[in-house]
Amino acid sequence: MLGYWLLIGLPIVLSFIKIPKKDLGTSLLALGIIYILFVGLRYEVGADRWAYSNMYDNIASLSFKDALDYTEPGFATLNWLLGKMDAGVYWVNFIVSVIFVSGLIRFAKTTPLPFLALISVTPYLVIAIGMSATRQSAAIGLVFHLMASWRQGLVFKLSFSTLATLFHNSGIMSFVFVMQSIKMPAWVKTLLFIGSAAVLYPVLSGTDKAAQYQQTYLDDNLVSSGALMHALLNGIPAVIYLAFWRKWKARFGDSDLLPMLAVLSILSVFGVSVSSTGVDRLALYLSPIQMIVYGSLPLLFGRQYKSTLTSVVIVIHLVIMFWWLNYANTAEPFLPYDNLITNALFN
């Protein structure tokens, strides 16, 4: 358990150190490398570790064509290539951690207080998701890259959305974000969305994966433990933003990303009752709202409140992590934390 506290302790310490602007990128890069080593070199940690180990072994024995039928094509290709090289599942974890963490670091750099932004997603997104849900963490990392490139061209953003969907089908939600960023009248966006849905629905709904999702997430309404609390991780910063949106706009300027994330985050809280597992998975792509709001909030009311609000944000997330590590019924597979490096040195 100590390893997790040391991990979140690093950005906490850095958030109280006045780092020159010219050195900020280097500091974030160094912190990102530590996060990659922590997440990517985990050893027998995470609820899904055996499922992904079995997936790697099975894909390694298949032809490339059969591998593509086994799981999402991006993740299947990664496993198949590493399997043919006999690299091992730990290389899959490491490469995915590079995709995941680099996306978080790039997006953190777009916020006024990047270390605080990173603290806000460490307890749940980094530890609980990044160290277990390998396919989706790759997709999430690519969506963070997409949002960090929000001012880039449409083709650039569509590339990240496509890659995210290739690693996990839920990444298709990122196309909603991209559509919102297109500069066109609202009625044109609405028509485009309806037209795209009309074309894609009969195609996607006829697949085996769609049938599986329909049965699991809607028909059975499989209950995801803690789904409401996970949705609230986005819902609370969404409420904070909407409560002060005029002041926020005056202080930080216009944003076509933040209002969309805020509305979807609040809708996800109410959507838990419809499909807790489905909403739980999709709400992960709304996590950037945590980084934006908490990575900006201490500056919203003036610099005289910066230290106080920074401390409040840190304490809140330390409490979240303490509760999850000690009382969540999903935490057991993460304890104790072990790493390939320490395992090789001491065992």
Q: Tell me, what's the pLDDT at 196?
A: 53
The partner residues of 339 in beta bridges, in order of sequence, read: 42
Q: Tell me, what's the pLDDT at 220?
A: 45
Write out the DSSP string of 17-68: S---HHHHHHHHHHHHHHHHHHHHTB-S-STTHHHHHHHHHHHHTS-HHHHH
- Residue 197: what are its φ and ψ, rounded to 5°? -65, -40
The C-alpha atoms of residue 178 and residue 172 are separated, in whole angstroms, by 10
My answer on whether omega of the bond before 336 falls inside 30° of 0, hence cis, is yes
Q: Tell me, what's the pLDDT at 170?
A: 87
The C-alpha atoms of residue 242 and residue 57 are separated, in whole angstroms, by 47
> What is the CB-side half-sphere exposure of residue 187 using CA atoms within 13 A?
0
pLDDT digit string (tens) for the chain, length 347 residues: 889 999 999 999 999 998 888 899 999 999 999 999 999 999 999 999 999 999 999 999 999 999 999 999 999 999 999 999 999 999 999 999 999 999 999 999 999 999 999 999 999 999 999 999 999 999 999 999 999 988 888 888 888 999 999 999 888 888 888 877 777 666 666 666 566 555 444 544 444 444 444 444 444 444 456 788 889 999 999 999 999 999 999 999 988 889 989 999 999 898 887 777 778 888 899 999 999 999 999 999 988 899 999 999 999 999 999 999 998 888 999 999 999 988 888 87
Crossing angle of helices 21-40 and 114-121, rounded to 10°: 20
> What is the CB-side half-sphere exposure of residue 63 using CA atoms within 13 A?
2
Q: Tell me, what's the pLDDT at 184?
A: 66
CA distances to 127, 129, 148, 305 from 11, rounded to whole Å, are 15, 19, 20, 20
Classify 199 as helix, strand or coil: helix
Q: Tell me, what's the pLDDT at 206?
A: 45
Q: Are 107 and 289 in contact (CB under 8 A)?
A: no
CA dihedral 8→16→238→220, nearest 10 degrees, is 0
Q: Are 285 and 143 in contact (CB under 8 A)?
A: yes
Which of 136, 64, 65 minimizes the C-alpha distance to 99? 136
The C-alpha atoms of residue 93 and residue 113 are separated, in whole angstroms, by 29
| Structure-token pair, residue 94 | 């490491």
pTM of the model: 0.89
Q: Where are the domains of the chain?
A: 25-341
Give the chain's end-to-end CA distance (angstroms, integer): 18
Residue type, 221: N
